[in-house]
Amino acid sequence: MMSFSDDDRDPHISTPLIVCIVLAAVLVAGAFLIPMILGERPKNKQEETTPAAVTEAVPVTTAIPTEAEATAAPETEEVTAVQEPTTAEATTAEPTTEVPTTEEITTEEDTTAGEETTANETTTEDAMKYENYMAYVRKNFVREVPEDVQKNDAGKLEHIQYYSKKAEKAKGAYVWLPPNYSPENKYPVFYVNHGITGDESSMLKGFALPEMASNLILSGEAKPMIMVFTFMYTNKDKANCTAITAEETPFYDAFLDDLTDSLMPYIEGNYPVLTGFENTAIGGFSMGGRESLYISIMRPDLFGYVAASSPAPGVVPGKDMFMVHEGCMSEDEFKFAPEAAPHVLIVAGGTKDFVVGTFPQQYHELFAKNGTDHIWLSVPEGGHDGSVGIPVFYNFLKCLFKAEK
């Protein structure tokens, strides 16, 4: 340390002043050295005004998205019961739920009421985001049908008689007209086919078709349409089928000609209907499901929408408890050419169906083997009844006549 002698000291600087200067230096040095010795540091102005607890109070998982982020999130993601892993996760994570194939709807993808609302409000523009319209329908398929949709028919039912060229006599059918029907408008047509030994009245009950169509049309979830409930049995010599035998089934296959040559021309000549592939649907239950598949494969130019609920065997060769089926075509022919495939093709069966057994699943497997895109619905505990048919026709009615050309 430097010292001052009396000879060296500036005569203008007094001893008290020097003492003050030394004390001030000591105080300033202490202000910095003491916190450093104790392991502390002075806080800056920003740290003093921003408590550390604020940054810890908002976890990342609860962040609220901005309006732009919320709009960008697609609604269809909420419907998906099984989320696919990201590219990074795909190499390490093992999925706990099996992801269904593109043609199958599995029991794990049950849809809640909230998800149903999302599907109902999805627009045609949303449907265009999918590979095709079938993929859109599959993604938004609803298993649980609301009870209120199955009640109260606001449509009008008319019974008609038309001349069947194939049967060479008059046959009957029911024509269902939608709510607020007007002959000034034109409507697409859905032909509904019954089970074996049934008639044109059979599908009016047990499947809630008029009720579901009525409510879905009124709510705007289905397009206004005309439904024709057919009588398929086409026999010159008998009025009705009296037995489930190999001798009787050809008279159901004969409905192909009766429908296309007689019934459809009658409907088109007496009701204001739209015609052609885009405006015509066919579907049915049991034998009606079998004939819907057979007829649409034989005349793919006519039917853009096809549904088969618990379809009976016999389109291809096979054997069940009733008979040996020769088949209307070979297994290799059981398909649609890609350029002629319907917009929507649904096949469904129940796991407790002891009438047609596993034949619906066999049709599904044949379509898959032959490269025909379709929707397969397996209903756990479902029987040979509306437990399968109601969800099939509910979704079918909702999707009819909406595909882009």
Domains in the chain (CATH in brackets) are: 147-399 (3.40.50.1820)
Closest C-alpha to 202, from 353, 387, 386: 386
Q: What is the pLDDT of residues 51-100, one digit of tens each?
A: 333 333 323 222 323 333 333 333 333 333 333 333 333 333 333 323 23
Residue 118 or 297, more confident: 297
Residue 32's H or E segment, with its range, is helix 15-38
Average pLDDT over residues 157-176: 98
Alpha-carbon span 251 to 351, nearest angstrom:
29
The overall average pLDDT reported for the chain is 79
pTM above 0.85, yes or no: no
pLDDT band at 318 (very low <50, low <70, confident <90, very high): very high
Tell me: pLDDT of 9 over 90.
no
Residue given tokens 């024509």 in the structure block? 175
Residue 294: pLDDT over 50: yes
Sheet of 189-193: strand order equals: 104-105, 375-379, 344-350, 305-309, 280-285, 189-193, 226-229, 169-177, 156-164
Q: Which residue has the higher pLDDT, 300 or 94?
A: 300
Q: What is residue 131's predicted lDDT score, i.e. its pLDDT?
A: 76
pLDDT category at 404 given cuts 50, 70, 90 is confident
Q: CA of 380: how far to CAs of 97, 107, 284, 351, 387, in Å?
A: 17, 7, 20, 5, 10
Residue 204: pLDDT over 70? yes
Which of 126-130, 250-254, 346-350 has the lowest average pLDDT? 126-130
